[in-house]
Amino acid sequence: MAALELVVLLGTVIVVGGVLSRRLGIAPPVLLLLLGVLLGFVPALREVHLPPELMLLVFLPALLYWEALTASLREIRANLRGIVLVSTLLVALTAWAVAAVAHAFGMPWGPAWVLGAALAPTDATAVATLSRLLPRRPMGVLRAEGLVNDGTALVIYGVAVGVTVGEEALTGGRVTWLLVVSYGGGVLAGLAVAWLGLQLRRRLDDVYLGNTVTMLTPFAAFLLAELVEASGVLAVVVTGLVMGQAGPRVVGAAVRRVAEPFWSLGTYLLNAALFVLVGIEVQSAVRGETGSAIGGAVVLAFAVWGTVLVVRCAFLFGSVYAIRLLDRRPSQRLRRVSDRSRIVSTVAGFRGAVSLAAALAVPTTVASGAPFPDRGRIVFVTAVVVTLTLAVQGLALPAVVRWARFAQDDGAAQERVLAERESTQSALDALPGIAAGVGADDDVVEMVRAQYVERLALLDAPDADTEPDRRRQRTETALRLALLAHKRGTVITLRDERRIDDAVLRQVQARLDIEELRLSRDDLTLD
């Protein structure tokens, strides 16, 4: 099939899958995976195979960078010990347990470890998509775990693939050295690329050049780390975290307004396309197997899924009680959570794009030219386990969250009010000096002061007295939005009557759009 036809088909399937998922109440990744399997029956698509290295070099850097860029570094610092444990020990334990189960089902140790490494890490993107009901702290820990654990898993994955292909010798010293190089080199590569990216962003005030640098940043970090045989995943994560902290000081508003929708749409399309392509690949893998082999692979997939859940649950409980025995500090006691929270974290341990990309990146042949053993089985089992985690665990998560009875978490709302109040008051205090600096007239200064005072009064009003003010604010917002819609219609009419040019229409419409978005966001903060 021609590349253009494949692009159009993938886009169509993504749209159809998104519409159906809303109507049927099925998680979009699961539906896209199933649609990909159905597409595999189309004869022209049976030979559609992306180069294995493309999965790790194109999909992962972009997906992980956006998740790291929008992650909370404060939550990572506050829960660093737990994140390190689940990102290293839990990943290694899960990979070993899955490998042992796969080996018991007749898979050689090399491919079994490849399967275990592919399914060991949770996926930050899947967690962010399906775990929105969680309070901020467990959500932050799960997202951070999904970002960091990929580095450990992909080191194990690389060793397992190298041993199976015949390019690596498996020794304890070799694995230890690879872990040190992977983590140390990955962190250094990420810091270097982040520093370079910040220097460039400070010197580029052009919107398109600035966003071009943003787009290249994760791939440059991944490439630099790979050149020194370090973890490209960890380099991308470190770069994203640094840019997320330093970016607001050096990146202009115009660049951000282009970058945020670009990355949101881009990562959405990459995620969706990945699930469709894996569905096609699964169908291709199944086609070459006998009925009994498929049945055995299905049984293996369910056994692996159960193993992943059991190991995760056991580790979360065991590590917590071990920490409680060793750390008796009062500060540690204050951070304790209920056992129900650990059940929620077990259910929320979704597998997703990282596992799928790793499975598809398995080489097709070994050093001798022979086919990579059980590659089709690895892809099939990985896809089934990912589907089970997203479908079964994803559907069960809301009920489990309700069962856990988390305390209401309004910390984000309180912090948003704090930020608005402090920034508004600070601006009011600085208004005379700033007005003198820009040469503003007194009437303009008083008009701006009145607007800021009104906003501050709304933020400072006691809760019992805010409802009338909020109702008036909502009415004012609705009126302004309706007037903007009327203005937009008038401008379009002027264009249709050829009284203004299309370029003028776009300029005026851009200003109206910015104002509409601002008012819409203000309206959301009042709910």
What pTM was estimated for this model as a whole? 0.77
CATH 1.20.1530.20 for domain 3-366+377-409, yes or no, is yes
How far is 225 from 502, CA to CA, in rounded Å? Answer: 47
The two three-digit tokens of residue 254, written as one number: 């115009």
First and final CA of the chain: distance in angstroms? 50
Smallest CA-to-CA distance from 192 within 214, 224, 228 is with 224
How far is 199 from 219, CA to CA, in rounded Å? Answer: 17
How far is 450 from 452, CA to CA, in rounded Å? Answer: 5
Look-up: residue for tokens 């386990």? 385
Smallest CA-to-CA distance from 453 within 414, 479, 421, 480 is with 421
How far is 268 from 446, CA to CA, in rounded Å? Answer: 45
SS3 (DSSP) at 371 = strand
Query: Exposure pattern of 108-137 as b/e (b: 16+ CB <10 Å)?
Result: eebbbbbbbbbbbbbbbbbbbbbbeebbeb
Residue 153: strand pairing partners: none
Provide the total of helices (H) and of strands (E) in the chain, helices listed first: 23, 0
Smallest CA-to-CA distance from 117 within 103, 96, 142, 146 is with 96
Query: Exposure pattern of 214-248 as b/e (b: 16+ CB <10 Å)?
Result: bbebbbbbbbbbbeeebbbbbbbbbbbbbbbebbe
Q: Which long-range contacts (CB under 8 A, 24 or more apart) does 313-322 make?
A: 313/342, 313/343, 313/346, 315/86, 315/89, 315/90, 315/93, 316/86, 316/342, 316/345, 316/346, 317/342, 319/82, 319/85, 319/86, 319/89, 319/90
How far is 20 from 87, CA to CA, in rounded Å? Answer: 35
Smallest CA-to-CA distance from 428 within 383, 459, 473 is with 459
Return the DSSP state at 166. Answer: T
SS3 (DSSP) at 365 = strand
> What's the pLDDT at 369?
80
Three-state secondary structure of 414-478: HHHHHHHHHHHHHHHHHHHHHHHHHCCCHHHHHHHHHHHHHHHHHHHCCHHHHHHHHHHHHHHHH
How far is 466 from 470, CA to CA, in rounded Å? Answer: 6
Every domain range in the chain assigned CATH 1.20.1530.20: 3-366+377-409
Q: Tens-of-pLDDT digits for all 527 residues of the chain? A: 567 887 888 889 999 988 988 888 777 877 887 888 888 777 777 666 666 566 667 777 888 888 888 877 777 887 788 888 888 899 999 999 999 999 999 899 889 999 999 999 988 767 766 656 677 777 778 877 887 787 788 778 888 888 888 765 555 666 677 778 878 888 999 999 999 999 998 888 788 898 899 899 999 999 999 888 888 888 998 999 899 888 888 887 778 878 888 888 888 888 888 778 777 776 666 665 666 778 888 899 999 999 999 999 999 988 887 877 766 666 666 566 677 888 888 888 888 777 887 887 888 888 778 888 888 889 889 888 988 888 788 778 888 888 887 767 666 667 777 777 888 888 888 888 888 888 888 888 888 888 888 778 777 765 544 556 667 777 878 888 888 889 889 999 998 998 888 888 888 888 888 888 777 766 555 45
